């Protein structure tokens, strides 16, 4: 789903999308609708919300986020 469509959904439920990033905006929509605000957190590739309209985008972005985390160096603890 493109950003224009997402912003339209946000406005339809009285959210002001402004220039929020996709992840934050979708999570705000999810929360406003009384759903889990979990967009792009299914890093393990599992999600039990099978009827979620964000599902395809969520899995795609979750995989990218998971790969970025895997490449990051672990923090040093003193």
| Cα 34 from Cα 49, distance rounded (Å) | 13
Average of per-residue pLDDT across 7-27: 97
pLDDT tens track for 53-72: 999 999 999 988 766 666 66
Helix 22-32 vs helix 3-12: crossing angle, to nearest 10: 30
Average of per-residue pLDDT across 44-54: 91
Using alpha carbons only, give the angle 62, 73, 27 rounded to the nearest 5 degrees. Answer: 25
**Which pair of structure tokens corresponds to residue 1?**
């789903």
pLDDT tens track for 22-39: 999 999 999 999 999 999
């Amino acid at each position: 789903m493109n950003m224009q469509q997402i912003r339209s959904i946000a406005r339809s439920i009285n959210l002001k999308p402004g220039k929020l990033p996709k992840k934050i905006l979708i999570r705000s929509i999810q929360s406003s609708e009384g759903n889990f605000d979990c967009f792009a957190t299914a890093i393990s590739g599992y999600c039990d919300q099978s009827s979620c309209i964000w599902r395809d985008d969520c899995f795609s972005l979750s995989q990218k986020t998971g790969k970025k985390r895997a490449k990051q160096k672990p923090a040093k603890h003193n």
